[in-house]
Structure 1
Amino acid sequence: MELPLIAPMLATPGGLPSASQDARWAYETKQDGQRAVVYLPGDGGLVLRARSGEDITGAYPELRPLGTALGGTPAVLDGEILALDARGRADFQALQSRMGLAHAPARAERLAARAPVHLVLFDVMHLAGRALLRLPYVRRRAELEGLELTGPTWSTPSALVGHGPQALAATREHGLEGLVCKRLDSPYEPGVRSRNWIKIRNMLGVDVVIGGWSPGRGRLTGTFGALLVGQRAGTALRYVGGVGTGWSEAERADLAARLRDIATPRCPFDPVPQVTGAHWVEPRLVGEVRHSTRTRSGLLRQPSWLRLRPDLTPEESAADVPDGTG
């Protein structure tokens, strides 16, 4: 069966629903992996697509057996691919070695044999020829759980209805990334960053676009001292600060090489920030940084680098950044 291509629904950053609304929401653990829409045509095959729509099936050969899990029933599912550490927690840095291997099958097979990924499933958008997009979340969730999709490298974690504060506290206690809150009556909105899904991070982390760098001093002479980063505000890339800490030596060397490859004489920020000795790059690389808070003008306070996000596009760094930033 030819299945419809469906862009994943996205969550909006926010806080817990009010106590009076708590029972109208379901709560799921926020997973730290690569989002994937799963296509099961019902002929034993499997196709995985990233948020961008890119076919990433070849990067995860250990997930191929999922293609037969529903027999001849075609389906489109939503989920997240995780690399798990020794304690069973998602480790995004470990997953990065697997991302981008869709066209390197031999290497993907070797890594899959050594440390298989795990796919968690949390929604179903199309099933047995039926479009489920307009069904409320609670009914889609019942359809998904009825499929009993549990296997060697995939599972369907349960969702908790109500008790949001307790759910969030549990994620913090266990060192998990956060919580996703989903309205029980919400439809599936393909490609939309919706207020019907709210994501809560246990750390203040934001996705940013690298737009340049400032030179290092002392032992860092010849490489970057800080990355100059921004976030999308409408069609503009607004400068939100310089990030000067958080890398290992190997990560710094890797980033320096990437920056050399995308150097440009033109500043990608609007307006142009006043940074002495700045070098500009094409705004292609997305990263995640941790910070304490923001200034009134939108600059990040005490930012620290966490990781590159090759699974995100620069357009996905959108945020409420004041027009006067920089």
Structure 2
Amino acid sequence: MLATPGRLPPAAQDARWAYETKQDGQRTVVYLPGDGTLRLRARSGEDITAAYPELQPLGGELGRLPAVLDGEVLALDDHGRADFQLLQSRMGLAHAPARAARMAARVPVHLVLFDVLHLEQPLLTVRYADRRARLEALALDGPYWSTPGAVVGHGAEALRATREHGLEGVVCKRLDSVYEPGVRSRAWIKIRNMRAEDVLVGGWLPGKGRLTGLPGAVLVGQRSADGRLRYVGGVGTGWSGPERAELAALLRAAATDTCPFDPVPPVRDAHWVLPRLVGEVSYSTRTRAGLLRQPSWLRLRPDLAPEESAADLPENLP
């Protein structure tokens, strides 16, 4: 069951919803047949059990009680927050068990459990509130797995808390909802905390198909402490048709043969421009190298000159 992007439920309906922390990891269904083993399947249906050997002991936690659980595999940073870039070093190792075992010692994962789909009998048609109570009664908390709590009501406070703690957001789940496998349901609503910052445009990539002749994406950067323009990513969404056409004209006027980024990013087919256009973008978080994740264009900032914009890299990034 998948969540639909949206907003917090109306205040008058707040008490009808539960709020869970949105996790940034690999969604997985956990099969516990009751014989001490476990099987993990990704959203694609792929068997990913061998990729995460540290989760194998979970297979014996419920004894002979068969269960099917829903959760997310995370890799945690030094502050205990999910770091998808860390997790990527663990993904894709289902067919390389020896390497998976070595990586488990270096980058252990943590499985958070948030639903139960089967417990001796199917629970798909049981209300979320009752499924959640059954899950919590299992008390599945171990060295590499846990069952984080859900808050009923107080959605605005829950969302604000995730922002204050640098977490990805919340998932709102209607208390009376059933579990709908494979459905992106309005009974689950996901809200991602997005940040916004100013950037300098240093290049662009040609669009394809209906965007032929227009920029498909702009290449953006921010100033480091030593004054260099550091590449922070490509932005390919957020424009209307007229806005993209206006941007195309501005980019053509600023064309140059010299890449303004230092170092030059490994981007093929790039067209460089003088870094004099300031834009504002939204994004979810940064990679360890300082790149913006899930960036989207918000607006041009003609009110800001390049030398006076707030386009500076955080000091703790390379």
Q: Where on the TM-score scale, by shorter chain, does this alignment land: which range?
A: 0.5 to 0.7
Kept in 1: contact 2:90–2:107 (CA 8 A): no
Cα distance change of structure 1 residues 146 and 240 upon mapping to structure 2, 3 Å threshold: farther
Q: 1:203 aligns with which of 154, 177, 194?
A: 194
Deviation at 1:229, TM superposition (A): 8.1
Partner of 1:138: 129
**Sequence identity (%):** 69
2:219 is matched by which residue type in structure 1?
Answer: G
- 2:244 aligned with 1:244: no
What SS class does the counterpart of residue 90 from structure 1 fall into? coil
- 2:53 aligned with 1:78: no
- 2:90 aligned with 1:115: no
In structure 1, C-alpha distance between the alignment counterparts of 2:67 and 2:53, rounded to whole Å: 19
In structure 1, C-alpha distance between the alignment counterparts of 2:118 and 2:215, rounded to whole Å: 40
In structure 1, C-alpha distance between the alignment counterparts of 2:46 and 2:16, rounded to whole Å: 34
Cα distance change of structure 1 residues 64 and 28 upon mapping to structure 2, 3 Å threshold: same
Partner of 1:6: none
Q: 1:43 aligns with which of 35, 46, 49?
A: 35
Rg larger in structure: 2
In structure 2, C-alpha distance between the alignment counterparts of 1:175 and 1:30, rounded to whole Å: 11
Q: What TM-score, normalized by structure 1, do the two folds share?
A: 0.65
Cα distance change of structure 1 residues 27 and 294 upon mapping to structure 2, 3 Å threshold: farther
How many corresponding residue pairs? 238
Equivalent residues in 2 for 1:111-260, closer than 5 Å: 111-128=103-120, 130-203=121-194, 226=204, 241-245=216-220
What SS class does the counterpart of residue 20 from structure 1 fall into? helix
Partner of 2:237: none
Runs of 4+ aligned residues of structure 1 deviating over 3 Å after TM superposition are 225-230, 273-276, 292-295
Structure 1 unpaired stretches of 5+: 1-8, 206-216, 218-224, 231-235, 256-270, 280-286, 296-326
Partner of 2:7: 15
What SS class does the counterpart of residue 48 from structure 1 fall into? strand
Cα distance change of structure 1 residues 155 and 164 upon mapping to structure 2, 3 Å threshold: same
- 2:296 aligned with 1:291: yes
Kept in 2: contact 1:35–1:50 (CA 8 A): yes
CA deviation string 1:102-137 (max 9, x = no partner): 011111101111221000000000111x11000110
Kept in 1: contact 2:29–2:42 (CA 8 A): yes
In structure 2, C-alpha distance between the alignment counterparts of 1:71 and 1:99, rounded to whole Å: 28
Cα distance change of structure 1 residues 192 and 151 upon mapping to structure 2, 3 Å threshold: same
Kept in 2: contact 1:204–1:292 (CA 8 A): no
Kept in 1: contact 2:74–2:87 (CA 8 A): yes
Kept in 2: contact 1:204–1:290 (CA 8 A): no
Q: What TM-score, normalized by structure 2, do the two folds share?
A: 0.67
What SS class does the counterpart of residue 12 from structure 2 fall into? coil
